[in-house]
Amino acid sequence: MEHTKGKNDFTALGKRMPRTEDHRLLTGHGRYIDDIDVPGALHACFIRSPYAHASILSINSTEAEDMPGVIGIFTGKDLAEWTTSLRMAPSIEGVKPVEMTTLPIDKVRFHGDLVACIVATDRYIAEDALELVEVDYEPLDPVTNMFKAQDAGSALVDETLDTNLVSHQTFATPDVEKVMAGTDRMIETNFSEHRQTHLPIETRGIIAEWDAGREHLRIHVGTQAAHPYRTAIAGRMKLSESQVTVISPDVGGGFGQKIALYREELTVAALARHLKCAVRWREDRFENLLAASHAREDWVRTRAAVDENGKLKALSLEIVEDFGGYCFYPANYLARVIAMILSGPYKLDHYAFDVKVVLTNKCGNGPMRAPMAITSWIMEGTMDAIARDLNLDPVDVRRINMIREDEFPYQMASGETLEDINPFETMEKGLSIIGYEELRSAQAADRERGIYRGIGICNVVESTTYGSKFYKSAGIPGSGHESAWVKIEPSGAVRGAVGISATGQGYETAFAQAIAEGLGVDPLEVKIEIGNTDIAPYGMGSRGARGGTAGGGTAYLAGLEAQKKVLAIAAKMLALNTADQLCMKEGKVWRCIKDDWTETELTLADIARTAYLDPTKLPDGMEPGLEVHKAYDPPPMTYSNSSHFCQVSVNINTGEVTFDRYLIVENCGTVINPLIVEGQQHGATIMGISGTLFEHVVYDENGQNLTGSLADYLIPTAADVPELEIVHMHTPNKRTPAGIKGMAEGGVMGAIGAVSNAVSDALAPFGITIDKHPITPDALRALLRNKS
Amino acid sequence: MKKVAITLNINNRDVDMLVEPRKLLSDAIREDARLTGTHVGCEHGVCGACTVLVDGKPQRSCLTFAVQTQGKAITTIEAVKGNNDGYSALQQALHEEHGLQCGFCTPGIIVTFEAYLKENTNPTEDEIRDVLSGNLCRCTGYQNIIRAIQKAAAVMRGETPGAAK
Amino acid sequence: MKPAKFTYHTPDSLEAAFQLLGEYGDEAKIIAGGQSLIPVMNLRLAQPEHLIDINAINGLSQIREEGDIITIGALSRHREIETSALLKERLPLLPEAAMRIGHLAIRNRGTIGGSLSNADPAAEWSLMAFLMDADIEITSARGTRMADITDFIQSVYTSDLSADEILTAVKFPPIAPGEGWAVCRISRRAGDFAIVSVATTICLDTSGAIENLRLCIGGMDVTPVRISHVEHAAVGQMPNEAWIKSAAEVASGIGSPESDMHASAEYRREMAAHLTAEALREALKRCGGGA
């Protein structure tokens, strides 16, 4: 990869600068969806199913339609005339094709599923009308258990399939069965991860405005991926992409929930066109918890073949995932990646996986921050299980299995290549900081006194940036490229845009730093414009942890390209034959004469003025203006790594878990902005802790969602979370722009494993191992009760 | 159930509006007074995003009807500022310590602590965590918010806080 | 999540409020702080046609002591109770309990009268009122009557309040000088309703034996429960660990707790024992005027 400077020469990259987007957000002048005033906009609200699984026999809306202020009530049949269905039929072996209409027509598939849309002049009135609509349902058998869902006699969630098993994929290296059969010790471990939801504090929402004269649809929607969203909505409304503008303004969190084009949003857009006006919808919290998108309901079993030293010889993995009632993504999208990157920092030659994805009568699943998070718990839980079984120290088992510095690049059994990571170093560093040996001695002494403390370790290899080649080889549709432009206006003002949309990650600041580094100006001089499909170039959006490498990396490359053009003009203006001995620094052209850099008189403004207003002075053949467009497809996969160390105390009387210490040693390569990176790591780690200890979407056996309020779906408060210590051991990626690797999901991965292992460690004297989340006080007491 | 004419005093300004009695204060502030800095996150009193000051005290604007707040002084995020219309100590500290990410919960946190730090000028970390527990944040993990509140409290006491770690 | 329509009334006197109640009966609902009522109205689980706001009525928010009775007006906010100097001195359990109600913004608005009228068995004021045998002052056009808390709160969300009545005050006895006390609870997160909560007061005589014990537990039944046989049997006992353990064991058998998403019945029983022991130990430490 191209570098103009050594890695230590960065001035804008790595700068711990507070964010430029803060100002509007701190003063109440942010612009989230509901803050945007569209005069005359109508309000939509949705009738939702009270049943998990039911046929819709009839909808009587006469009385509601007669209410003053009600514009109309629209059903699945109406929407089917105006929009096409979503067909999810990737040509991937083992994945069955599925299709969904914009609104259900004949039956509903989960508690909270859509039935009809009410449009009124005001949300209050729309909700009044909702109470007057009579829907006649015929309840069907609810499918609520992903194991029973596979039984031959089970009711079908989707009758177009002959089974609820919507995806089944397997893989095995050639000798895995032979190695497993020939091993003395086989250690089986289970992991059960529960259903969760993203819970952005700003729920979903949309404003759709149809310009009947220009036949143009303008959409304000909180989305992580504005351009793919536009492609999707234009396609399903049978519009050209040139007829649609998608604007994602300030967004109050996404975490994966704001990627897909949802049925509610498409309905609102179609109604705006049908009614020739503006229609808006704000999801309320009840709807958000029941029906936005859920995530992570997996049952996993590993079987590890090991030798007497705990060395892993072969591993098999089984996953069964409950995907809910609808596929907004290919059904294998999440579980497949878990299987592919499972082994993380550990050497493994012989590997097999079997991944089943099942439809049930629950809200459809999607990616949630670190959709592959369970990999860390699985691998690190397996390491601890090996240690327990062989009576070894869990650290020694990790040491014997871990990939060492001289073994990178390392090709995993799944075929993926790990490079430029240092898991052994981060683990050893962390062990020495926490004083592992001393903690073990203290732990033994505490146990004598009836105090149960546990140490949990989790080594994370985080898949951060998914390049197009990965998607191809994993059998998942999609591109991993990103694009950016830099425009230097005649005054020298620098504008930049990247095709990725922000939901709180500080992209405006980070991308300004990346472009500033490439171009050689102060980051505060770069104005970033994102989240508008008419302005930003087509990009793949914010997913995984691609913001740094794909977003920041492309921005940096665009900045470099712009600098190249600026310097070519400067060379001509300085009457030099070549720009080789020129560079941009702080917005000025610098020249090297005999190893000595000095400032010239030329500024970026001088060059911009020439480029736009005096083009005859440009080098021969150069086009006037100063605009650069750059697209970049990252390597198949970039990886960051970290080691999490968690010390907890378990109150065996109450089952409460409290944190004594939480340390993270991490390596995410070149850092664009340390302040932002640490913020992302805090947020991700706490989200992992939250999922492990608090959050749980609960359905009863009839498929009723019992967690429709924030008093029931719990995320931790400030009084429930630990202080995190973070130590950095960054090494750059050699193949990405500026060595950026990305992060922002690894914290979730580390926390899930570290907390689980710490609690298991604390309760080792009782023979208790955590194999199920969430780890609630009630659940821990049940385990302790059964052991006593 | 006709609309009623009411006057709310918001940020020292009288705002006349015609609202149904059922209109929530949060909606009246946002839609009728056009002050959209106060956010609505749950409408059942748990998340704290809609917190405003009523007669100087933090309250949930989603758990109050607009008609109930006539004659009271309502303060929203738009009125929070420091000297010369710059940042307050708390806004400045949140900026410096990266105490916000998506920013949706931030106004509720700011108004809560603008009031609380006047009442308790030297809170312990536990006290800060306890008060902050009324505002849910999904992005930050709270750590930088707590650090910022401690820093702001120190600045407000006239101390020079240590540089950020 | 928007409330249904209602007609709004703001009587400025109890008499005016009674007149409205008389006129609208079951169609009317009193609103005080609204911190429990408005969430259920937003969810349209409650749809009163008339909302009678009693906040403008004077004289309902005093906290005062007269002749060894502490009277707390129905409109006293949780936060006012939490910060009351009188209560910190004479009945410190109440400020301690108040601190655990929701969050600051909720406590600034919510009222003790509203909470008790709502008869939520998990609410802190129900526990405090049962513990201290509080008397509830109920006023209507027919006059004022007093109700014992055990008669007033009958079951989950069910009180003895008739459609024409308003809870106007709660009367508590103060604790004696040197009387130990404790309030212990367990909840999933800060500010959540308690899964189980235990409150106690203990008076010791000069020999160190128990002279008087109050012990009350919430979360085990449809109302908080006083563990009266432990209270009676405790008199004259030396409060040692063995006694604490036996009291805790009794506590675990109280009521008929239900299982829900946050805690199983078994867990509640275990917490009843655990919190009872914790509360008794903490209260004993406070006996004799200790912190």
3-state SS, A58-106, equals: EEECHHHHCCCCEEEEEEHHHHHHHCCCEEECCCCCCECCEEECCCCCC
The residue of chain C with its CA nearest to that of B21 is C8
Using the predicted structure, report yes or no on whether residue C214 has a pLDDT greater than 50: yes
- Ordered by start, the domain boundaries in chain A are 7-30+481-632, 33-140+203-251+258-292, 368-465+635-787
- Predicted interface score ipTM higher than 0.95: yes
Q: Are A256 and A369 in contact (CB under 8 A)?
A: yes
Nearest Cα of chain B lies from the Cα of A432 at a distance, in angstroms, of 21
C147 touches C166 (CB < 8 A): no
**Is A656's CB within 8 Å of C186's CB?**
yes
Q: What is the CATH number of domain C180-286?
A: 3.30.390.50
* Cα within 13 Å of Cα(A88), Cβ side: 22
State whether residue C55 sits within 8 Å of chain B by CB. yes
**Closest to C264 (Cβ–Cβ): which among A128, A709, A778?**
A778
**C39 interface with B at CB cutoff 8 Å:** yes
pLDDT at A593: 92
Contacts of C223 (CB under 8 A, 6+ apart): C119, C121, C126, C130, C150, C153, C154, C155
Buried b (16+ CB within 10 A) or exposed e, A496-523: bbbbbbbbbbbbbbbbbbbbbbbbbbbb
Of A123, A717, A782, the CB nearest to C189: A717
Which of C106, C187, C188 is the best substitution to test chain A (most A C-beta atoms within 10 A)?
C188
CATH architecture of C63-172: 2-Layer Sandwich (3.30)
β-bridge pairing A244-247 and C210-218? unpaired
Looking at the domain covering A7-30+481-632, what would its CATH class be?
alpha beta
- CA-CA distance, A578 to A569, in Å (whole number)? 10
Residues of chain B positioned with their CB less than 8 A from the CB of A284: 43
CATH topology of domain A33-140+203-251+258-292: Aldehyde Oxidoreductase; domain 3 (3.90.1170)
How far is A28 from B76, CA to CA, in rounded Å?
A: 8
Q: Are B30 and A34 an interchain contact pair (Cβ–Cβ within 8 Å)?
A: yes
List C residues 155-194 in contact with A (Cβ-Cβ < 8 A).
Answer: 186, 188-193
- Across the interface, whether the CB atoms of A781 and C266 are under 8 A apart is answered yes
Extents of the domains making up chain C: 7-53, 63-172, 180-286
Contact with chain B for residue C189, Cβ under 8 A = yes
Residue A477 pLDDT: 76
Which of A29, A679, A718 lies at the smallest CB-CB distance from B133? A718
Residue pLDDT, tens place only, C162-180: 999 999 999 999 999 999 9
**A465-482 core/surface letters (b: 16 or more CB in 10 A; e: else):** bbbeebbeebbbebebbb
Q: Does A175 touch chain C (CB under 8 A)?
A: no
Q: Which residue has the tokens 């006996």?
A: C287
Write phi, then psi, for B110 (nearest 5 degrees): -65, -50
Would you say residue A333 has pLDDT above 80?
Answer: yes
List, as ranges, residues 110-139 from B with C-beta within 8 Å of A: 110, 126, 128-130, 132-139
Inter-chain residue contact A785 with C270, CB threshold 8 Å: yes
Give the side-chain half-sphere CA count within 13 A for B161. Answer: 21
Q: For residue A4, what pLDDT is reported?
A: 44
Over residues B121-150, the pLDDT tens digits come to: 999 999 999 999 999 999 999 999 999 999
The pLDDT value recorded for residue A498 is: 97
Confidence category of residue A471, pLDDT binned at 50, 70, 90: confident
Least confident stretch, A53-62, C76-85, C113-122:
C113-122
pLDDT of residue A374: 97
Strands A350-359 and A312-324: parallel
pLDDT for B164 beyond 50: no
Interface contact flag, C104 B58, Cβ < 8 Å: yes
- Which one of 3.40.50.720, 3.40.50.300, 3.30.43.10, 3.40.50.970 gives the CATH number of domain C7-53? 3.30.43.10
The answer to whether residue A286 scores a pLDDT higher than 70 is yes
Amino acid B1: pLDDT: 60
Q: How many CB atoms lie within 10 A of CB A239?
A: 17
Judge whether A175 and A385 are in contact, CB under 8 Å: no
Q: Give the chain A residue nearest C262 (alpha carbons).
A: A778
Q: Quick check: A577 pLDDT over 90?
A: yes
Among chain A residues, CA nearest to B24: A124
Q: Is the pLDDT of residue B165 over 50?
A: no
Of the CATH numbers 3.30.365.10, 1.10.10.10, 3.40.630.10, 3.10.180.10, which one belongs to the domain with range A368-465+635-787? 3.30.365.10
CATH architecture of B83-156: Orthogonal Bundle (1.10)
Query: pLDDT category, C291, cuts 50, 70, 90?
Result: very low
Question: What does each C-alpha distance from C43 to A204, A353, A709, C110, C115 come to in angstroms?
Answer: 18, 46, 10, 19, 19
**Cβ burial, residue A449 (10 Å; 0-12/13-18/19+):** exposed
Which band of pLDDT confidence, cut at 50, 70 and 90, is reported for residue A3?
very low
* Backbone phi and psi for residue B92, each to the nearest 5 degrees, phi listed first: -60, -45
Model pLDDT, residue B116: 98
Q: How many CB atoms lie under 10 A from the CB of residue A624? A: 12
In this predicted structure, the answer to whether residue C253 has a pLDDT above a threshold of 50 is yes
Q: Which residue of A has its CA nearest to C39?
A: A709
Q: Over pLDDT 90: what percentage of chain A?
A: 96
> CA B77 to CA A35: how far, in whole Å?
14
Establish if B45 touches chain C: CB-CB under 8 angstroms.
Answer: yes
Taking only the tens place, the pLDDT of each residue in C91-112 is: 999 999 999 999 999 999 999 9
Residue B162's pLDDT is 63
| Contact criterion met (CB < 8 Å) for C274 and A655 | no
- Select the residue from A778, A780, A786 to test the C interface by mutation, using most C Cβ atoms within 10 A: A778
Whether chain A has a CB inside 8 Å of the CB on B144: the answer is yes
Q: Mean pLDDT, to the nearest integer, of A321-341?
A: 94
Residues of chain B with CATH 1.10.150.120: 83-156
Q: How far apart are CA A372 and CA A534, in angstroms?
A: 33
**pLDDT for the residue A7:** 38
A628-675 pLDDT, tens per residue?
A: 999 999 999 999 999 999 999 999 999 999 999 999 999 999 999 999
pLDDT for position A11: 95
pLDDT band at residue A478, thresholds of 50, 70 and 90? Answer: confident
Does A368-465+635-787 match A7-30+481-632 at the fold level?
yes
pLDDT at C131: 98
Work out the percent of chain C whose per-residue pLDDT is above 70. 99
Contacts of B62 in chain A (CB under 8 A): none
Q: Is the pLDDT of residue A184 over 90?
A: no
- Residue A349's pLDDT band (boundaries 50, 70, 90)? very high
Pick the closest to residue A101 from A137, A138, A75, A73 (CA basis).
A75
| Contact between residue C204 and residue C211 where contact means Cβ atoms under 8 Å apart | yes
* Cβ contact C2:A123 at 8 Å: yes
Give the pLDDT of residue C289: 54
Provide the Cα torsion C111, C117, C123, C129; round to 10°.
90
Q: Using an 8 Å CB-CB cutoff, list chain C residues near B130.
A: 190
Superfamily of domain B4-76 in the CATH hierarchy? Beta-grasp domain (3.10.20.30)
